[in-house]
Amino acid sequence: MPHTKFDSTSSTAEGTKAQSASERTDQSPDGRTTTTCPECDGRLIVRNDQTHCEDCGLVVDEDRIDHGPEWRAFNATEKNEKSRVGAPTTNMLHDRGLSTTIDWQNKDGYGSTLSARKRQQFQRLRTWDERFRTRDATERNLKHALGEIDRMGSALGIPDATLETASVIYRRALEENLLPGRSIEGMATAALNAAVRQTGVPRSIDELATVSRIDYLEAARAYRYLVRELELPMAPPDPLEYLPRYASALEITAETERRAHDLLEGGMEAGLHSGKHPVGLAAAAIYAGSRLTGEALTQADVSDAIDVSKVTIRNRYQELLEHEIATADSTAAD
């Protein structure tokens, strides 16, 4: 049987040549990474995940490393079932979601029920895990406050991005030691109200007070204190942001909503919204628009749907209509 002779000298030389070639790097004029070809010392070009020589055509590297998962999923359900990573970090959790959470179900990875001894063991682990997640008063305070923000946001349908903003504002208040002498619920409501104002979500402080554990006066007082101490930039509330939501709740026609929008926009240009509650102005504009289009809508209907007194609606809608009439007269005179 013939034996194959192995030339260690040539092999070592070729390995050294390839290594030295790979270490010699250059940059092409168009910014592509290049190296020297180990065969003809030509220029290597990387294109479409393949490295080849532009002179002799030698393909040096063509194996692309896939850093993604080894499984495939065709819908969101399959993706959630096959994924083996945790949730992304979020400011809505006091530890930003980096701690371990032990499931409350007493089942193993195959879905089988745990034995009595294992159930007791995992119950003790859950207890200690809960204790170590909140190790001091600051973390317990933050955990309770963020839970309140999440609860109120869920009750009012506030977007997650706004809740994240509220959690950041509350963390700032906690870092600057603004909480002594204030209730956690009050400051959490104030932080959520500030986030709602900053992100332009049409939710008034009256609505927040209905789902909060404090009354309106304490919520308003805590909000003013938070904005003043943190120097948060707050623009005046825009009544136009409330209009689509209340128009949908009252199921008015598109023509009525358009007229209400025009009335409200004209009134704001004239400064009628200064010092007025935005919800009351939006309600008055809807009622005034219904009067102009002839839609059957009473002050009582608007008052019940938007939770604004009929006196407020009556006063504000008259102001809007008077401004509309004055604008029309001046236009006709011109």
Say what the pLDDT of residue 64 is. Answer: 66
Q: What per-residue confidence (pLDDT) applies to 274?
A: 78
Percent of the chain with pLDDT over 70: 86
Of 18-22, 98-102, 105-109, 133-137, least confident by mean pLDDT is 18-22
Q: Quick check: 290 and 256 in contact, CB under 8 A?
A: yes
37 among annotated binding-site residues: yes
Mean pLDDT, rounded, of the chain: 82
Q: Which domains does the chain have, with CATH numbers?
A: 84-133 (no CATH), 137-230 (1.10.472.10), 239-332 (1.10.472.10)
pLDDT higher for 116 or 79?
Answer: 116
Lowest average pLDDT, out of 104-113, 162-171, 172-181, 324-333, goes to: 324-333
Q: b vs e for 23-59, b when ≥16 Cβ sit within 10 Å of the residue's Cβ?
A: eeeeeeeeeeebbbbbeeebebbeeeeebbbeeeeee
Classify residue 103 as left (phi > 0), alpha (psi -120 to 50) or beta. Answer: beta
pLDDT tens-digit series, residues 254-280: 999 999 999 988 888 888 877 788 888
Of the chain, the percentage scoring pLDDT greater than 90 comes to 30
Annotated binding-site residue? 314:
no
Residue appearing with tokens 């919520």: 219
* Residues 94, 232: Cα–Cα separation, whole Å: 22
From 30-34, 134-138, 164-168, 267-271, the region with the lowest mean pLDDT? 30-34
Q: How many CA atoms lie within 13 A of 170 on its CB side?
A: 35
Q: What pLDDT sits at residue 32? A: 46
The residue to which tokens 């011109």 are assigned: 334
> The pTM is what?
0.62
Mean pLDDT of the region 61-79: 76
Q: Whole-angstrom Cα distance, residue 12 to residue 14? A: 5
pLDDT band at 334 (very low <50, low <70, confident <90, very high): low
The predicted-structure confidence for 77-105, as pLDDT tens digits, reads as follows 887 777 767 667 788 887 777 777 777 78
Instruction: Tell me the three-class secondary structure of 12-69, residue by residue.
Output: HHHHHHHHHHHHCEEECCCCCEEEECCCCCCEEEEECCEEEECCCCCEEECCCCCCCC
Whole-angstrom distance between the N-terminal and C-terminal Cα of the chain? 113
Indicate whether 321 pLDDT > 90: no
pLDDT in tens, 119-128: 899 888 888 8
- Counting Cα atoms < 13 Å in the Cβ hemisphere of 154 gives 7
